[in-house]
C-alpha cells in the first residue's frame, strides 16, 4: 500500500482479486474461504457483469445453518445469493478514500463492515475490506490533523513576523512609532491607576542632515544603527521601551521612573553615544557624533493626555538643541 495523503484513492489500497461466475458451486467458494482466511468476500458475475457480492461473514453464516451445507454445497453460488437482499456497494478505483469511507459509514449498522466492490475498469472488479478502508481513513484523518497543526504553526509564525514588521523599525530593530504610541498609551493608563511616575526621553542626533550629506546615506544608516545600539545598551528593564521616533529621533519610555532616574539614564545614553567616537566633521559641537535629549516626567492624571508628556519632552529637546546641543534638558527647567 502506498503512503496515504488527503488525495489518496481506493486504488492506493490493497484490493482482493477474486471474482467467480454465478454458476460456480458453493463448496468451491467454501474451500476458497478455508484456504484464505483474509479474503473478505467474493465478487459474483453473470456473463462477466457484476451481479452480486457476498461477504465471508454472510456466506459462512448461511452455510452454518441447519442443513446449510447439504442445501447449498453442491449447488451454484447463485442459489445462496438469491437469499441475500444486500446490494453491493460499488466505487470506481479513483474514488477518494475519505469519500468512500463516509459512504460506507452511512450504510445501516449491519452493513458497515460489509466489503465493497472497486471497479478498476469496465468488467474488471476487485474487493476491498472495509476495515482496511476505515483504518486508511483514520490514518488520513491523523495526517490531516498533523497538516492542520503544521499550517497553524506556519500561520502563527507568519503572524508573528507580520506583527514584528508592523511594530519594529527595520533599520534599527527598535520599536517603531506605532509601537511607541501604543505602549505610551498603555503605560499612561497603568501609571495613572498606580499613581506613579512616567518618564519620557526624546533624543535627536545632532546635525544629522550634515552627516548624511557629507558621508552618504549608507554611512548615515550605519550611524543610526550604532546610536540605536548605544541607547538600547543602557536600557535594562523589561518594562522600558526604546523606539525610533522618526528619522534621526529616538525615544525612551520609562514607567515607574521619576525625573532623577530619567536624568541618570539620559546622562548614561549621552556618554555612550560620545564613546562611539563616530567621526562627524560637519558637526558644530564636536568632532564626533553627539545627541541632544529632552526629558519629561509626570504622574498621569485624568486632566492630562499622553500627548502632553510628548509635548513636554519635545519642548525640553528643543531647548537642548537651541542651547548648543550635546546635552540634555529636563522639562521642569523650562518653568
Summarised one tens digit per residue, pLDDT across range 40-54 is 999 999 988 999 999
- CA distance linking residue 296 with residue 169, whole number of Å: 24
Q: What is the dihedral of CA 319, 323, 328, 331, to 10 degrees?
A: -30
- Euclidean distance between CA atoms 38 and 56, whole angstroms: 9
What pLDDT is recorded for position 67? 76
**What are the boundaries of each domain within the chain?**
10-138, 177-334
What sign does the dihedral 177-181-187-192 (CA atoms) show?
A: positive
Task: Write the pLDDT tens digit of every residue in 126-169.
Answer: 999 999 999 999 989 888 888 889 888 888 888 877 776 788 99
Average predicted confidence (pLDDT) for the chain:
92
Q: At what angle do helices 208-215 and 217-233 cross, to 10 degrees?
A: 140
Grid coordinates representing 257 are: 521612573
Residue 69 has pLDDT above 60, yes or no: yes
| Element holding 29 (H helix, E strand) | helix 26-35
Fold of 177-334: Alpha-Beta Plaits (3.30.70)
How many residues are there in the chain?
Answer: 335
Q: Are 8 and 94 in contact (CB under 8 A)?
A: no
Give the best-scoring range by mean pLDDT among 4-13, 162-171, 206-215.
206-215
DSSP-derived letter for residue 234 is: T
Concatenated DSSP letters for 161-211? HHHHHHHB-TTT-SB-HHHHHHHHHHHHHHHHHHT--EEEEEEEETTHHHH
Give the global pTM: 0.58
Task: State the DSSP code for 255.
Answer: E
The architecture of the domain spanning 10-138 is Roll (3.10)
Q: Indicate the DSSP class of residue 122.
A: T
**Which one from 70, 248, 249, 333 is the annotated catalytic residue?**
248
What is the end-to-end Cα distance of the chain in Å, rounded? 84
Residue 248 falls in the annotated catalytic set = yes
Percentage of the chain modeled with pLDDT above 90: 72
Residues 208, 214, 219: CA angle, nearest 5 degrees: 70
Sheet of 291-298: strand order equals 241-246, 249-255, 198-205, 291-298, 328-330
For residue 283, pLDDT over 60 is answered with yes
Amino acid at each position: 500500500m502506498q503512503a496515504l495523503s488527503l488525495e489518496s484513492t481506493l486504488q492506493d489500497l490493497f484490493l482482493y482479486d477474486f471474482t467467480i461466475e454465478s454458476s460456480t458451486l458453493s463448496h468451491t467458494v467454501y474451500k476458497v474461504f478455508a484456504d484464505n482466511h483474509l479474503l473478505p468476500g467474493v465478487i459474483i458475475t453473470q456473463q462477466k457483469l457484476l451481479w452480486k457480492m457476498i461477504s465471508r461473514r454472510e456466506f459462512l453464516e448461511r452455510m452454518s445453518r441447519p442443513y446449510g451445507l447439504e442445501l447449498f454445497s453442491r449447488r451454484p453460488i447463485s442459489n445462496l445469493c438469491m437469499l441475500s437482499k444486500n446490494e453491493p456497494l460499488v466505487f470506481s478505483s479513483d474514488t477518494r478514500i475519505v469519500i468512500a469511507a463516509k459512504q460506507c459509514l452511512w450504510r445501516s449498522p449491519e452493513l458497515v463492515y460489509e466489503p465493497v466492490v472497486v471497479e478498476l475498469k469496465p468488467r474488471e472488479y476487485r474487493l476491498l475490506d472495509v476495515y482496511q478502508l476505515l483504518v486508511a481513513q483514520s490514518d488520513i484523518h491523523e495526517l490531516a490533523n498533523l497538516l492542520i497543526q503544521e499550517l497553524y504553526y506556519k500561520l502563527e509564525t507568519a503572524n508573528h513576523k507580520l506583527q514584528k514588521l508592523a511594530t519594529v523599525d527595520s533599520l534599527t530593530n527598535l520599536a517603531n512609532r506605532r509601537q511607541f504610541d501604543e505602549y505610551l498609551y498603555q503605560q499612561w493608563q497603568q501609571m495613572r491607576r498606580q499613581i506613579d511616575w512616567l518618564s519620557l526621553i526624546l533624543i535627536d542626533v545632532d546635525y544629522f542632515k550634515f552627516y548624511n550629506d557629507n558621508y552618504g546615506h549608507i554611512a548615515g544608516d550605519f550611524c543610526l544603527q550604532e546610536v540605536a545600539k548605544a541607547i538600547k545598551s543602557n536600557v535594562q528593564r523589561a518594562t522600558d521601551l526604546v523606539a525610533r521616533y522618526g528619522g534621526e529621533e529616538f525615544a525612551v519610555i520609562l514607567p515607574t521612573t521619576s525625573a532623577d532616574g530619567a536624568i541618570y539614564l539620559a546622562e548614561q545614553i549621552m556618554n555612550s553615544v560620545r564613546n562611539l567616537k563616530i567621526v562627524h566633521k560637519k558637526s558644530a559641537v564636536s568632532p564626533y557624533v553627539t545627541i541632544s535629549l529632552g526629558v519629561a516626567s509626570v504622574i498621569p492624571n485624568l486632566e492630562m493626555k499622553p500627548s502632553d508628556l510628548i509635548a513636554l519632552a519635545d519642548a525640553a529637546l528643543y531647548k537642548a538643541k537651541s542651547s548648543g546641543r550635546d546635552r540634555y534638558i529636563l522639562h521642569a527647567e523650562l518653568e
